[in-house]
Structure 1
Amino acid sequence: MDFKNAKELLELCQKQNLPISEIMLQREMTEGEMPREEAQSRMARALAIMKDSAHTPIKTPVRSMGGLIGGEAGKLASHQAAGHGICGDVLEKAITYAVAVLETNASMGLIVAAPTAGSAGVVPGLFLALQECHSFSDEDLLKALFNAGAIGYLAMRNATVAGAVGGCQAEVGIASAMAASAAVELFGGSPKQCLDAATIVLMNMLGLVCDPVGGLVEYPCQNRNAAGVANALIAAEMALAGLTQLIPFDEMLETMYTVGKRLPAELRETAMGGCATAPSACAACHMCS
């Protein structure tokens, strides 16, 4: 069940008549030399951490270590609870949970890097919102996490998920592609539709820079996780509606990687460009001379 690229993954799905999640689960069992129950148990642990990291800051807001963020998730939850939301239940909840996970991360809490700490809010944000609004079970989410893992694996094998290498398009972009693909499978989409959704995300987020204020994974990272869940939701909707993509995922991934490497160093996690050098940002973190 091993695969090196999305083309091989899709061929396996078609040959075995299995979804991406099952192909990835069987790959993990083989490569990790573990029984199905252990692979599923490990993923269940990841899901439990995701849930805790998304819920805790809403109940107990805490300031980040750098002092740039803290309390945003609670404000969003209160805004929605008061009936003032304008995005609809799924997106409102997804935004709130995504923001919350970044608060947990920035305050030294336990999170699941999916695929990185700076993009850790996207996958749980969308998953938990879909579970609450569409009654998916934890077992459904576990399968979806294996689907998301396949997309993350392909990105790490054939491109990058590091902001220092490819900008935020490689962090929040890949996280959003993972979430979009998994969401498509959750709603009964085909493996091809899953990969189309992942392509749409990378296309829409192509060129996104990584410019953390003060060099901290706080701001604008938190905002971009919220944008990431929105992008994932859009891509999943389009793919499920049958919108096919001219560019296959493997080519889109290579395009993202090429663009990322061409970004100037100042826009690849060095805090020397973009939002990090805005006067107000410099004043807030006392980092600029």
Structure 2
Amino acid sequence: MRFSHLREISALCTAESTTISRLMIQEQAQETNTPEEEIFRQMAEYYDVMKEAVHRGQTQDTVSRSGLTGGDGKRLAEYLRAGETCSGEASALAMAYALSVSEVNASMGRIVATPTAGSCGVIPGVFISAQERFGWDDKHMVHGLFAAGAIGYVIANNSFISGAEGGCQAEIGSAIGMAAGAMVELRGGTPEQAVHAVGLALKNTLGLICDPVAGLVEIPCIVRNGLGAVTALAAADMALAGVRSTIPSDEVIDVMLEVGSAMPSKHRETAKGGLAQTPTGKRLTESLTRNAPTKEQ
């Protein structure tokens, strides 16, 4: 790739009068020696999987094998249809869809890791709800995925995307940043605005620990996906309005690396700290352990 930082993406797009998505398609084609048409087709298939996951989460049973989670995506959608929401229709719909995809993941359904399975709901929640609101076609949305991919590429190569390495700021934070920047491009914003959206989003998740109850990607992971979708929309709105990340986005990514590296291991996906070690978290873990089937069963 010709870029390793967000500032380089912005500079290349400006110099070549192109978008982040087009730049990423061209770079990936050259990097992999694959025709652009084939790369686009593959990404379109991923978007189909995302839409299928949203549909399944909204129409089918998504109770997880543990029995701890399921059905909240449908509950939120029903609440949205019932009347006025506190956060507004756009936020509520994005939350509902993000929860649904994460619940499909927890119930062993098919999802796209964006950038991980634990953060799989944010981008589909933001993208598919926005597509319904604005009437965009799938081709436009697939271009958005390439923009998100370029942002994720930079984050992964300069910081973390794994909760085990850098806490939930790495998983959910990265997904929020990717969704926010991509949403700016989908709405017609400039590459510079998209980069600012990433910084604005990531700053709001710095230090977020990864503390899954019983070590499962359910509590609090699913709820964080829902709320993460709302944060992504808010960051995109800020950037489109002209709000800038005073600390450059690349420097925010560097801070995410610093904070994640300093984070205690008990707060990095080990289930040995945070919500996993609350009295209720311990009780749920013990209950699941007692009821786990033995090899003989």
TM-score bracket for this pair, using the shorter chain length: over 0.9
Taking the aligned partners of 1:195 and 1:18, their CA distance within structure 2 comes to 14
Q: Deviations over 1:167-205 (max 9, x none)?
A: 000000000000000000011111110010000011011
Residue 73 of structure 1, CA deviation: 1.0
Taking the aligned partners of 1:4 and 1:221, their CA distance within structure 2 comes to 29
User: 1:1-289, aligned counterparts within 5 Å?
Assistant: 2-286=2-286
2:109 partner letter: G
Residue segments in structure 1 that go unaligned for 5+ positions in a row? none
2:203 partner letter: M
Q: Deviations over 1:62-116 (max 9, x none)?
A: 2112221011111111111212433222111100010001111011111000000
Contact 2:7 2:195 in 1 (8 A): no
3-state secondary structure, aligned to 2:225: helix
Contact 1:89 1:133 in 2 (8 A): no
Taking the aligned partners of 1:209 and 1:89, their CA distance within structure 2 comes to 29
3-state secondary structure, aligned to 1:141: helix
Taking the aligned partners of 2:197 and 2:187, their CA distance within structure 1 comes to 13
Taking the aligned partners of 2:42 and 2:145, their CA distance within structure 1 comes to 11
Q: Which moved more, 1:38-47 or 1:4-13?
A: 4-13
What is the aligned residue count? 289
Taking the aligned partners of 1:104 and 1:234, their CA distance within structure 2 comes to 25
Taking the aligned partners of 2:68 and 2:274, their CA distance within structure 1 comes to 17
Taking the aligned partners of 1:35 and 1:254, their CA distance within structure 2 comes to 33
Residue segments in structure 2 that go unaligned for 5+ positions in a row? 291-297
Taking the aligned partners of 1:83 and 1:61, their CA distance within structure 2 comes to 24
Taking the aligned partners of 2:33 and 2:63, their CA distance within structure 1 comes to 41
2:183 partner letter: A
Contact 1:159 1:257 in 2 (8 A): yes
Residue 285 of structure 1, CA deviation: 2.5
Taking the aligned partners of 2:139 and 2:162, their CA distance within structure 1 comes to 30
1:210 partner letter: C
Normalization by structure 2: what TM-score? 0.95
Residue 6 of structure 1, CA deviation: 1.4
Taking the aligned partners of 2:289 and 2:266, their CA distance within structure 1 comes to 14
How large is the Cα RMSD of the aligned pairs? 1.3
Normalization by structure 1: what TM-score? 0.97
| % identical equivalent positions | 44
Residue 58 of structure 1, CA deviation: 1.3
Taking the aligned partners of 2:226 and 2:251, their CA distance within structure 1 comes to 26
Q: Deviations over 1:190-226 (max 9, x none)?
A: 1110010000011011110000000000110001001
3-state secondary structure, aligned to 1:171: helix
